[in-house]
């Protein structure tokens, strides 16, 4: 990498482009290992409870391994697995907490927004009907308000994602961190950095979209053929489900290691900005 990640002096903050580039280089240089770990994680995800914990810990292990590369202290897969396995159930609890937070956001934010949006559209549609002019300014204003409100909601949700983006990384790397404290740790590290991370997320989404899109297209085409048949034959319904599941897992296997590498770079950069030297892997001082 062009950046001197192992420097003994404080580094300059990485730009958005630097972060994405570093994540991409980590992904490409360890592609085989990261893909193998990601595939193993998603196979475990098919097993309830224990498998979910294993999936979360293995994905976090990818970020831990990437972080080790960034601080010029590579770690073996066996050692990294030993560390994350010691907090296996903490990863499961963290996942449940984040799921609860996401559900709460849907209840208190997205549902009221959807109701407001529906009422607004209905109001402008009614006004346009009363004025007997389908091309009136009412429709244009309603359309503009809808687009603006959707963009505002999407941007706010992306900002929230940025604040929680590295939530599992402290749990995988730092000492004296559990499923509760790692959430506050992520929130603290990303303080005043939310919009910069939003920029990183936006660019990363653009990079991963061409990888995921073909899987979605192929899945849609196959589903369009199997869905009519599945109504008459249960075998086709099962086949349709399995095809969708396999394509989803393959898509995630290709993309998620890149995101985990991006998380490692962001975490490294945030700690460098806020804490300077003294970065350390659990049980190993840098």
Domain assignment of residue 11, yes or no: no
Q: What is the pLDDT of residue 120?
A: 67
**Residue 257: inside a domain, yes or no?**
yes
Residue 30: CB atoms within 10 A of its CB come to 19
**Polymer length in residues for the chain:** 286
Q: What 8-state DSSP symbol labels residue 108?
A: I
Residue 231 forms part of a structural domain: yes
Q: Is the pTM of this model over 0.85?
A: no
- For residue 49, tell me if it sits in a domain: yes
| Residue 136 pLDDT | 58
Residue 1: the pLDDT is 41
Model pLDDT, residue 277:
46
CA dist 42 to 36, 52, 68, Å?
Answer: 10, 9, 23
Count how many domains the chain has.
1
Helix, strand, coil percentages, rounded to 5, for the chain: 75, 0, 20
CA distance linking residue 263 with residue 204, whole number of Å: 11
Alpha helices in 48-110 (DSSP H): 50-70, 77-85, 88-105
pLDDT at position 229 is 73
> 184 in a domain, yes or no?
yes
| The predicted structure's pLDDT at residue 14 | 77
Element (H, E) at 235: helix 234-275
- Say what the pLDDT of residue 71 is: 87
Contacts 24+ apart (CB under 8 A), 240-247: 243/219, 244/219, 247/215, 247/218, 247/219, 247/222
Neighbours of 81 (CB within 10 A): 17
Q: What is the pLDDT of residues 51-60, one digit of tens each?
A: 999 999 999 9
Pairwise CA distance, residues 83 & 61, whole Å? 9
Burial class (CB in 10 A: 0-12, 13-18, 19+), 18: middle
Given a cut of 70, the residues of the chain with pLDDT beneath it are: 1-13, 120-139, 142, 276-286
Helix, strand or coil, per DSSP, at residue 48: coil
Phi, psi of 280 (to 5 degrees): -150, 145
Compute the distance between CA of residue 157 and CA of residue 204 in angstroms, rounded to an integer: 16
pLDDT score, position 138: 62
Residue 234 sits in which domain range? 16-278
Residue 4 lies in a domain: no
Q: Per residue in 77-111, pLDDT tens?
A: 999 999 999 999 999 999 999 999 988 888 887 77
Does 7 fall in a domain? no
Return the pLDDT at 223. 79
Residue 283 lies in a domain: no
Specify the pLDDT at position 106. Answer: 81
């Amino acid at each position: 990498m062009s950046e001197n990640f192992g420097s003994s002096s404080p580094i300059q903050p990485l730009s958005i482009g630097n972060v994405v580039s570093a994540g991409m280089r980590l992904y490409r240089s360890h592609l085989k290992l990261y893909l193998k770990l990601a595939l193993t994680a998603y196979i475990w995800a098919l097993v309830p409870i224990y498998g979910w914990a294993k999936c979360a810990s293995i994905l976090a292990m990818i970020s831990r391994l990437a972080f080790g590369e960034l601080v010029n202290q590579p770690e073996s897969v066996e050692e990294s697995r030993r560390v994350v396995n010691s907090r296996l159930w903490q990863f499961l609890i963290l996942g449940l907490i984040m799921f609860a937070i996401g559900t709460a956001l849907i209840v208190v934010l997205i549902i009221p927004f959807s109701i407001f949006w529906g009422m607004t559209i209905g109001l402008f549609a009614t006004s346009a009907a009363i004025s007997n002019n389908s091309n009136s300014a009412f429709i244009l204003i309603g359309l503009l308000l809808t687009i603006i409100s959707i963009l505002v909601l999407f941007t706010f949700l992306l900002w929230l994602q940025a604040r929680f983006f590295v939530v599992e990384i402290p749990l995988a790397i730092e000492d004296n961190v559990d499923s509760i404290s790692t959430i506050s740790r992520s929130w603290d590290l990303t303080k005043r950095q939310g919009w910069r991370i939003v920029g990183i997320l936006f660019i990363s989404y653009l990079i991963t979209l061409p990888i995921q899109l073909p899987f979605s297209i192929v899945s849609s085409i196959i589903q369009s053929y199997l869905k009519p048949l599945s109504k008459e034959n249960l075998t086709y319904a099962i086949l349709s489900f399995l095809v969708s599941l396999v394509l989803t897992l393959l898509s995630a296997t290709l993309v998620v290691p890149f995101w985990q590498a991006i998380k490692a770079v962001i975490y490294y950069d945030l700690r460098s900005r806020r804490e300077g030297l003294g970065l350390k892997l659990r049980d190993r001082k840098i």
